[in-house]
Structure 1
């Protein structure tokens, strides 16, 4: 009994060490893992379209080239039309900040007095050395904002390029990886169970990712159109920003509202009219988050808000903004995998919403193939038959 207790303690300690090792590896291997993870997410998002094109006779490699080409052209178009304006904003960020501070000085006058008083005290105490001699300041020249932005853009461009190439290979391979996975099981019941599970994972995750991408695209169009009607300059850029920021739950909407409010105050002379733009942005994101997304997605993949927040914080700490953007899709993938793997149902239940008391999961002993999974692949099952155990 004592030996079994020691073995269980050792096993738990090893699990903790392995978990820590995984996070350490993720932290130091960001440049390698991020494009791989992003490539898999892009492939999962586009897999329903690729599979639908295959049903009408279009080869997988043709649909992969076409879909990835469309995505690459869309990204290139966004960069082409938005880069000049964004670079201009970054170049004049300091002057814009000064102007914004001037316009808001009436609201923060008392805080400004306190800051100035503190600055004067600091200058009085540090202006001269102990001998009354002037202290020579050494200023280290920091890289400009444009230089830092170019470094980020070049790194992001390399990551996107690798991700798109990997996604194209994954889409072009069709069902090859699924077939290889299923062939590794010795019995026919094991093959069917594995095939049902992997297709269920693909169907639910790809449905979520594609639906969220389309919802965010619709939100971006609405935000851009409403801000254009209000009179905001470069409204299409804010539409693009809304599309990207909405992948980041909670913080994305707040960040978008704050940025729109800042530029709106700089643009319009009337403070009350300037509040229309952030109010419209907040209204649209609220409608999307509370009505549109739940209506289109249902409650099948609704997540625990605490788990979502902690996941965003964790991956944001590990990988920065890129990690925060892919945190929720990664959490959805992990939840679906946990729901479909025996022994991980507790984890899947914890990640679910408060009223998610059951999972839509078939019993492991009696798999029920969907019409578009096992039964739709008779030739694959037939090819696997010789590998079954005798």
Structure 2
């Protein structure tokens, strides 16, 4: 081999290369050592994005997309889900009664039919009692509005001047531009009632029929739950959660119903004593809207303020009825309800307010009334399922306060 040829041969440095020209006249052309491959692999790993960060981002995105889709589904399917949810809620309240009558030999279908008939009779009686006060309130509405306008005539001047200035600015902006006005005719009250009554009747029929089937089926739901869940511990936990949800929700709704009935009676008597018109209407309105914590009493109190301003000659006399209503509701909310409901089901006030506002926006008044029972169900579920401690802590009344039976449930599991 010539010297020029030897100089042209590439030399790969490495651990096995002893010298540029080894003994025997040849060169070392062995492949790249393993250390270089390891170094390149380490470099790729170091420059790769961290996997835990991407995993957390993906989970966050998945949860966000799921919540958006769930809220959209709840909103657009409210005509079906609302009566179904009401039926399940009434079933939770009435199932213990059906089970107790079954132990005394009464068939489940008979007791279910009797309870549904009693429920329909109670609702019909409440509506029948409300017809006359509501009719009187509607008849007095024009005079009430006129009187209210006269009472607030001091504010009419500044408001009219602001509205006139706004109208002049709008006309100046539209000067020289052809404007075509489109007026949409709103449906009248009778047409709304004609289209709304069949829809309400269909929803009520679906609720009643589904409630009858749920009560008459007895423990079939628990039997199916035991068969569906895979492991024995899951079966025990599932039955325990459903039993506790049924017990706590039925106890809560029964207690709150008794409290609201007494509250309605107290409000009606107090409004009659202070001279408010239609005291029966205020009593029923206060009792029904009290199912919506914070928002319901605020709505009732605002209506009482407006009617009191119209009904009484002086502002001091008009403020007596709202003051009495405020005293009654504060006594009920701060003393009676915590004492009767107990600390087991105390909730975070912020969570309650957000739940009432959210479900009220989603499903209207019925959704706002069902907001707290739904919150109770969510809290009980989070108390028994691992991984949802943060949600249970947020829904609890005190920071770091976990129900005692959660530890017992964990030990049993």
The 1:301/1:249 distance shift into structure 2, 3 A limit, reads same
Q: What's the counterpart of residue 268 of structure 2? A: 224
1:277 equivalent to 2:321? Answer yes
1:303 equivalent to 2:339? Answer no
Q: What's the counterpart of residue 122 of structure 2? A: 74
Q: What's the counterpart of residue 259 of structure 1? A: 303
- What SS is found at the alignment partner of 2:343? coil
Report the alpha carbon displacement of residue 189 of structure 1 after superposing the two structures with TM. 4.9
Report the alpha carbon displacement of residue 125 of structure 1 after superposing the two structures with TM. 6.3
Q: What's the counterpart of residue 59 of structure 1? A: 107
- What SS is found at the alignment partner of 2:406? coil
What TM-score does the superposition give when structure 1 sets the normalisation length? 0.82
What TM-score does the superposition give when structure 2 sets the normalisation length? 0.78
Structure 1 range deviating more: 82-91 or 277-286: 82-91
CA contact 2:346–2:397 (8 Å) conserved in 1: yes
Matched residues in 1 for 2:75 and 2:278: separation?
Answer: 36
Q: What's the counterpart of residue 379 of structure 1? A: none
Structure 2: segments with no counterpart, 5+ residues: 1-44
Structure 1: segments with no counterpart, 5+ residues: 369-390
Q: What is the CA RMSD across the aligned residues, in angstroms?
A: 3.0
Q: What's the counterpart of residue 367 of structure 1? A: 412
Matched residues in 1 for 2:412 and 2:250: separation?
Answer: 21
Q: 2:280 aligns with which of 236, 247, 255?
A: 236
Matched residues in 2 for 1:22 and 1:124: separation?
Answer: 46
Structure 1 range deviating more: 269-278 or 32-41: 269-278
Q: What's the counterpart of residue 375 of structure 1? A: none
Q: 1:17 aligns with which of 65, 81, 96?
A: 65
- What SS is found at the alignment partner of 1:300? helix
1:327 equivalent to 2:375? Answer no
Q: What's the counterpart of residue 292 of structure 1? A: 336
Report the alpha carbon displacement of residue 245 of structure 1 after superposing the two structures with TM. 0.6
Q: 1:268 aligns with which of 283, 308, 312?
A: 312
Structure 1 range deviating more: 336-345 or 53-62: 53-62
- 1:4-153 aligned at under 5 Å gives the runs 6-87=54-135, 89-90=137-138, 93-105=141-153, 109=154, 111-121=155-165, 139-145=183-189, 147-148=191-192, 151-152=195-196
Matched residues in 2 for 1:351 and 1:172: separation?
Answer: 33
Q: Deviations over 1:141-167 (max 9, x none)?
A: 323345445655554443333223222
Structure 1 range deviating more: 313-322 or 335-344: 313-322
1:315 equivalent to 2:363? Answer no
Matched residues in 1 for 2:369 and 2:381: separation?
Answer: 20
Q: What's the counterpart of residue 5 of structure 2? A: none
- What SS is found at the alignment partner of 1:361? helix
Q: Deviations over 1:288-318 (max 9, x none)?
A: 1101110001111111111112222222222
Structure 1 range deviating more: 1-10 or 317-326: 1-10
Over alpha carbons, which structure has the higher Rg?
Answer: 2
Q: What's the counterpart of residue 378 of structure 1? A: none
Report the alpha carbon displacement of residue 121 of structure 1 after superposing the two structures with TM. 3.7
Structure scoring higher RCO (CA < 8 A, sep ≥ 6) equals: 1
